[in-house]
Amino acid sequence: MKFIIAKPIIFKTLSHLQNIVDKKNALPILSNILIEADNNKLTLSSTDMDISITETINCNVLESGSTTINAQLIYDIIRKLSDTSEIEVISNDGKLLTLRSNGSRFSLACLPKEDFPIIETKSDGNRIKAKSEILFKLIDKTKFAISNEETRYFLNGLYCNITKENNNNFITFVGTDGHRLAKFSYQNNELTTEIPGVIIPKKTINELSKLLSESTEPIQLDISQNKIIFYFDNLILVSKLIDGNFPDYKRVIPNNNENNLIVKRTNLLSAVDRVSTIANEKSPVIKFKLLKNLVNMSTINNENSTATEDLEVMYEGDEIEIGFNSKYIMDILNNLEEDQITLSFKDNSSPIIAKEKSNPDLIYVLMPMRV
């Protein structure tokens, strides 16, 4: 195998692949990426057995061949080369890979390509097409609510389904950790097939989000019972799905919160941020006292330090005292974008809804905390 390639081209691909490599895996081959050179194309693959990425790029292939090389090592080497570098890569027997660039030369041990797992990039699942910028936004606005508790493994990802409502088709993403919930739906009547909900793991979501942020072209999704495949122009991401039952999120979203507080989002965010300076992990609660056209925010920590702030708002509902985790409410305020938002309350023990006018299908739900 022998090929020549510009650093920026191969480095971008390696940055996609090396993130999913399991660097602590007991199987050394899973710390490697597979390199295949043929017909002026270079195909690189990596996997941790749950998620896999295969990407094909153009390069000057002088001799066809293949091998595997430690992902972190080749990434670090190429990262430190000049951005204008041309890189020559040679592997005569698949056991040693030689990399040359300007005055630098590296000889790296390889593992046989035969040991590398076969990545199945075809499926007979439901195939749909989606705009990359829409898919990115659906994920970006919901992924913060994914749970990190491994005991509740069915919450360790985003729930995705395609449904028909009132003769319109929607693709929906939902994330929740039991304390807060984020739901974002997008109407797309080009989607003609209803697809039952699947749970996409958090690691896959994070890598997919990075790939979507770089893409401007529509991508294809293939959703089957136990895996999901994302087809980009020259890249394929394959992921296992979480085998579990996601909670019935529709039952969690209140439909009778009639006390509406309208506020400038940045003002509320700044006020919560200031008051929460006193809060800590042992005392993360901020108390909201809702009065006519005023909200009083206060907190007291375990050392009896206190903070309080009044903020003018539009509110003529019931007088309510309710507490929230300061971090959770700030996460929601940071993910909303409009200058003016609405928080809807029922009473001091029921979840609230946060929404904005421009995105009626973006809904955040936050459970209260005892104060």
Q: What are phi and psi of 333, to 5 degrees?
A: -65, -35
Indicate the residue type of 335: N
Give yes or no for residue 339 having a pLDDT over 90: yes
Give yes or no for residue 191 having a pLDDT over 80: no
316 token code pair: 């003529």
Q: What are phi and psi of 251, to 5 degrees?
A: -75, -20
pLDDT for 237-257, tens place per residue? Answer: 999 999 999 999 999 999 999
pLDDT computed for residue 175 by the predictor? 98
Q: How many CB atoms lie within 10 A of CB 148?
A: 9
Alpha-carbon distance of 35 to 7, in angstroms, equals: 15
Give yes or no for residue 186 having a pLDDT over 80: yes
Spell out the residues 6+ positions from residue 328 whose beta carbon is closer than 8 angstroms to its own: 179, 180, 366
Among 308, 309, 304, which residue's Cα sits nearest to residue 280? 304
Indicate the residue type of 327: K
Q: List, in sequence order, the alpha helices (H) in 19-81.
A: 71-79
pLDDT, mean over the chain: 94
Domains plus CATH for the chain?
Answer: 2-115 (3.10.150.10), 127-245 (3.10.150.10), 253-366 (3.10.150.10)
Among 144, 356, 159, which residue's Cα sits nearest to residue 252? 159
Alpha-carbon distance of 27 to 29, in angstroms, equals: 6
Banded model confidence at residue 181, pLDDT cuts 50, 70, 90: very high
Spell out the residues 6+ positions from residue 304 whose beta carbon is closer than 8 angstroms to its own: none
Give yes or no for residue 371 having a pLDDT over 90: no
pLDDT for 96-117, tens place per residue? Answer: 999 999 999 999 999 999 999 9
- In the predicted model, what is the mean pLDDT of residues 34-43? 97
12 token code pair: 């971008």
Give the helix/strand (H/E) hosting 87.
strand 86-90
pLDDT for 136-164, tens place per residue? Answer: 999 999 999 999 999 999 999 999 999 88
pLDDT computed for residue 243 by the predictor? 95
Give yes or no for residue 46 having a pLDDT over 80: yes
- In the predicted model, what is the mean pLDDT of residues 344-368? 96
Which percentage of the chain shows pLDDT scores above 70? 100
pLDDT for 10-23, tens place per residue? Answer: 999 999 999 899 77
pLDDT computed for residue 51 by the predictor? 96
